[in-house]
Amino acid sequence: MKTKHKELNNWIDEMVKMCKPEKVVLIDGSLKQKLVLEKEAFETGELIELNQEKLPGCVLHRTAINDVARTENLTFICTSSKEDAGPTNNWMNPEDGYHKAAEIFKSSMVGRTMYVIPFSMGPIGSPFSKIGVELTDSIYVVDNMLVVTRVGQKVLDFLGTDGKFTKCLHSKADLDINKRLILHFPEDNTIWSVGSGYGGNVLLGKKCMALRIASYLGRQEGWMAEHMLILGVEKPTGEINYVAAAFPSACGKTNLAMMVPPEGLKVKGYKVWTVGDDIAWMRIKEDDSLWAVNPESGFFGVAPGTNSKSNPNAVKTIQKDTIYTNVLLKTDGTVWWENGDGPIPSEGIDWMGNPWKPGIIGDDGKPKKGANPNSRFTAPASQCPSISPRFNDPEGVPITAIIFGGRRASVAPLVYQSFGWNHGVFLGSIMASEITAAQYGAQGMVRRDPMAMIPFCGYNMADYFKHWLEMGSKMKNPPKIFHVNWFKTNKEGQFLWPGYGDNLRVLEWIIDRSNEKISAYKSPIGYMPYKKDLDLNGLDINEEVLDKLFDININEWVKETKDIKEFYAKFGSKLPEELNIELNDLIDRLG
Ligand code: GTP
Ligand code: SPV
Ligand code: MN
């Protein structure tokens, strides 16, 4: 297999020598080739063909039981200097990284095929876009990359004979958790991932390239790669405001990006447009404001909880040409997950491949789930009924507001606005959220997760904060910055806010504030809404609950500032002084 690109050819040759595949196949992006590969995967069991009448073009894949989420503890930033990776990343020096991983990659593809996937993150040829090439021994990876990125000959044509690209190498090897490494070499524009078959670890265009490597490049080149959804809210006048929102994994990005206006707000005639559900690349344009593209072309969404009520657009998106991962297989060859549509099936095959019935008890004494809590669907963005007409616009969309948010049972109110850009960066830097099934770790534990980037920042996070501050100072019209929390609970642990479509009520306030249409009151933590300015039409919510949603508990916040101080201390003198000033101002305002 030869391309016109000499450096690419040499690199492939070198990787072939190490991994020793039986053959090398170029992925051309055609449907014909995809179908041939899927057929092969049905024979080996790597993929299961689903009921083609009910779910045309859909397949199911089960990962290894110990390989169902990102493994942050096995994910490294390999820079020459440890300080460049910073205190929030695992670090390895590049030489050690290559050496350790090579030991596992060596002969890992014997008897297998190496697939060469040329892909573009962002519309091909857009000033935002970056090219990557992933080498992998997994048809599941090929199938997913065909959906979530733009793949094929057209990418090679664009790359030409000497274009720049990110070198992405992946092998399942033995899927042994003790021989699993997800390594990033930002200085070499290279990613090596071995021993896993799970999404975020192996779809190397996504978290590895479009966030870790891209954030590193963004700092050098003066743009931003963020863990953000992008959506547009259109008024009947045709005016569209686009917002970008950073929430940690499994904290509501996909749901907010695809939301449907709730009853009661429908009379206002809003349309919501989905631009992206996970990643935003943002640049300052000639008009001195911030513009964003979604570098992906499909969704890799959380299945459990997705149903026709919570996310009707997602349900419509995943009826065809969708890859399901770790969900329950029903006897009729369709799929199901907890809190999905339809009745709980009376039997099926669970995500581990075992016979399942509702209520059967697992080794931990709890009822076994049919679908893994981090089970996923992979579907083309083009199939989403709310996909923005500007989804493929190489220029992106202008961002009116940036929203940060976490999953907090207490402390953070439903919504508040920063006093300005630097205070907004501060709000991003102090984000905290409960750990979810999207990553291995103590579920439910609150951790600091600045800008939802703690697992994805490809360099020293103190420098990342500085980059954010500098980007703001370069803009005449920077977006306004907000913080939201859909997940505040009562004493019984029930959510106080209905969430999902009703979040539009909060977005409406955010957009009006950004356009300076309404006033707000100053609280110690930021600007808060007057209750009269939140449109609660059609929502059954009592005054007491509303008060709880906006309550600022001074004691909790004082405790919070102590925790923030501890977190900031990790960065030592590298922490931008602006953030210390913001923290001290907050402490003062809290009294
Ligand atoms: P990743 O794809 O892992 O990055 O997750 P995500 O941020 O896209 O989260 P997603 O939208 O898939 O939601 C994750 C979980 O949170 C699902 O179980 C949703 O049902 C739930 N969820 C999403 N939005 C809301 C909300 O507004 N309120 C409540 N209570 N739950 C929500
Ligand atoms: C996340 O965990 O934030 C995801 C899933 O979106 S993964 O692509 O696996 O990282
Ligand atoms: Mn998502």
Q: What CATH number should be reported for the domain holding residue 83?
A: 3.40.449.10
**H helix runs in 484-553, sequence order:** 503-514, 543-550
Instruction: Confirm whether 591 is domain-assigned.
Output: no
Q: 253 and 107 share a domain? A: no
Q: 438 and 507 share a domain? A: yes
Q: 38 and 118 share a domain? A: yes
Protein residue closest via CA to atom 3 of ligand 2: 249
Q: 159 and 258 share a domain? A: no
The closest-lying atom of ligand 2 relative to the alpha carbon of residue 439 is 2
Instruction: Confirm whether 546 is domain-assigned.
Output: yes
Q: What CATH number should be reported for the domain holding residue 495?
A: 3.90.228.20
Confidence at residue 440, expressed as pLDDT on a 0 to 100 scale:
84
Q: 183 and 245 share a domain? A: no
Last residue of a domain, one of 200, 221, 242: 221
Domain count, the chain: 2
The catalytic residues are 251
Instruction: Confirm whether 342 is domain-assigned.
Output: no
Please list the pLDDT of the chain residue by residue as tens digits (591 residues).
899 999 999 999 999 999 999 999 999 999 999 999 999 999 999 999 999 999 999 999 999 999 999 999 999 999 999 999 999 999 999 999 999 999 999 999 999 999 999 999 999 989 999 999 999 999 999 999 999 999 999 999 999 999 999 999 999 999 999 999 999 999 999 999 999 999 999 999 999 999 999 999 999 999 999 999 999 999 999 999 999 999 999 999 999 999 999 989 989 999 999 999 999 999 999 999 999 999 999 999 999 999 999 999 999 999 999 999 999 999 999 999 999 999 999 999 999 999 999 999 998 899 999 999 999 999 999 999 999 999 999 999 999 999 999 999 999 999 999 999 999 999 999 999 998 888 888 788 899 999 999 999 999 999 999 999 999 999 999 999 999 999 999 999 999 999 999 999 999 999 999 999 999 999 999 999 999 999 999 999 999 999 999 999 999 999 999 999 999 999 999 999 999 999 999 999 999
Asked whether the beta carbons of 168 and 183 are under 8 A apart, the reply is no
- DSSP percent split of the chain into helix, strand, coil, nearest 5: 35, 25, 45
Protein residue closest via CA to atom 7 of ligand 2: 200
| Distance (Å) from CA 564 to ligand 1 centroid | 25
Instruction: Confirm whether 128 is domain-assigned.
Output: yes
The residue to mutate among 144, 227, 251, 504, having the most atoms of ligand 1 within 8 angstroms of its beta carbon, is 251
| Distance (Å) from CA 321 to ligand 3 centroid | 18
Cα(521)–Cα(531) distance, integer angstroms: 10
Instruction: Confirm whether 307 is domain-assigned.
Output: no
Asked whether the beta carbons of 163 and 132 are under 8 A apart, the reply is no
Q: 249 and 187 share a domain? A: no
Q: Which residues line ligand 2 (CB under 6 A)?
A: 70, 199-200, 206-207, 249, 278, 300, 438
Residue with tokens 């503890």: 73
Instruction: Confirm whether 309 is domain-assigned.
Output: no
Q: Which residues line ligand 1 (CB under 6 A)?
A: 247, 249-255, 277-278, 301-302, 304-305, 310, 438, 486-487, 495, 499-500, 503
The residue to mutate among 144, 230, 255, having the most atoms of ligand 1 within 8 angstroms of its beta carbon, is 255
Q: Record the pTM.
A: 0.97
Q: 93 and 167 share a domain? A: yes
Q: 198 and 287 share a domain? A: no
What is the extent of the structural domain holding 262?
226-297+388-552
Instruction: Confirm whether 304 is domain-assigned.
Output: no
Instruction: Confirm whether 345 is domain-assigned.
Output: no
Q: 152 and 260 share a domain? A: no
Last residue of a domain, one of 221, 250, 279: 221
Q: 26 and 174 share a domain? A: yes
Give 196's contacts (C-beta < 8 A, 6+ positions apart): 67, 71, 172, 175, 180, 182, 202
**Type of residue numbered 64:** A
Q: 214 and 271 share a domain? A: no
Q: 119 and 244 share a domain? A: no
Write the pLDDT tens digit of every residue in 207-257.
999 999 999 999 999 999 999 999 999 999 999 999 999 999 999 999 999
Last residue of a domain, one of 191, 221, 251: 221
Give 492's contacts (C-beta < 8 A, 6+ positions apart): none
Residue with tokens 């003062």: 588
Q: Following DSSP, what letter does each residue of 15-64 receive, concatenated? A: HHHHH--SEEEE----HHHHHHHHHHHHHHTSSEE--TTTSTT-EEE---
